[in-house]
Amino acid sequence: MNRWWKIRLTPRSPFLIAAKRITANDYETLDYIPARVLKAAVARAIIESYGGTPEDGTPPRYWVDPGLDPARCRPEWREWIKPFSEILFSDAMPYGAGRPPSTLLVCKVDPSHSPQDDLINRYALRKAVAAPGQLPPTVESGDAGEGRRCKECPQRLERWKSGWRLPSGGRQPGKVAHVQKRVFTRVELDVWRHTHRDEHLFSVAVGIPEALVGNTAEPLVFEGWIHAPEDVDLTLPPGFELRVGANLGTGLGRMEVEVFPEPPEDRKRWAEFGDWKKEVHDPSSVALVLVTDALYGVGGKRPVASLEENLAEYARWWQSRPSAIPAPSSLTVSYASIQYESRYPFVAGQPGIRTVDPLWYWLGGSLFVFSVTDPAEEEVLLQWATAVVKCGVRSDVSVQGAPAWSQDESPALSGSETTWTPVRAWSARESQSVSQKEE
Query: Residues 270-297: pLDDT tens digits?
Result: 889 988 988 888 889 999 999 999 999 8
Which has more confidence, 279 or 69?
279
Q: Is residue 139 part of a domain?
A: yes
Q: Is residue 202 part of a domain?
A: yes
pLDDT digits (tens, 9 = 90+) for 199-248: 667 788 899 999 998 888 999 999 999 999 988 999 999 999 999 988 78
- DSSP assignment of 407-434 equals S--S--EEEEEEEEE-EEE--HHHHH--
pLDDT at 327: 94
Q: Is residue 226 part of a domain?
A: yes
- pLDDT tops 50 at residue 138: no
Q: Of the residues 116, 133, 159, which one is the last residue of a structural domain? A: 159
Residues 216, 155: one domain?
no
How many folded domains does the chain comprise?
A: 3
pLDDT digits (tens, 9 = 90+) for 296-313: 988 866 656 778 888 999
- pLDDT tops 80 at residue 425: yes
Q: Is residue 112 part of a domain?
A: yes
- pLDDT tops 80 at residue 57: no
How many percent of the chain have pLDDT more than 70? 83
Q: Is residue 437 part of a domain?
A: no
Residues 25, 87: one domain?
yes
Residues 149, 282: one domain?
no
pLDDT at 439: 31
pLDDT at 172: 73
Give the CA distances from residue 185 to residues 114, 198, 208, 391, in Å, rounded to whole numbers and listed in that order.
38, 14, 16, 44
Residues 243, 303: one domain?
no
Give the CA distances from residue 274 to residues 166, 287, 431, in Å, rounded to whole numbers and listed in that order.
21, 11, 14
Q: Is residue 433 part of a domain?
A: no
Residues 249, 374: one domain?
no
Radius of gyration of the chain (CA): 23
**Closest Cα partner for 88 from 242, 232, 293, 226?**
226
| Contact yes or no for 259/248 (Cβ under 8 A) | no
Q: Of the residues 210, 243, 262, which one is the last residue of a structural domain? A: 262
pLDDT at 293: 92
Q: Is residue 415 part of a domain?
A: yes
Residues 176, 36: one domain?
yes
pLDDT at 412: 74
Residues 254, 283: one domain?
no
Q: Of the residues 207, 237, 262, which one is the last residue of a structural domain? A: 262
The domain in which residue 223 lies consists of: 3-100+160-262
- DSSP assignment of 24-46 equals TTEEE--SSB-HHHHHHHHHHHH
- pLDDT tops 80 at residue 436: no
d(CA 173, CA 196) in angstroms, rounded, equals 49
DSSP secondary structure code for residue 70 in this structure: G
Give the CA distances from residue 429 to residues 115, 124, 390, in Å, rounded to whole numbers and listed in that order.
11, 19, 20
Residues 321, 418: one domain?
yes
pLDDT at 131: 47
Q: Is residue 207 part of a domain?
A: yes
Residues 176, 277: one domain?
no
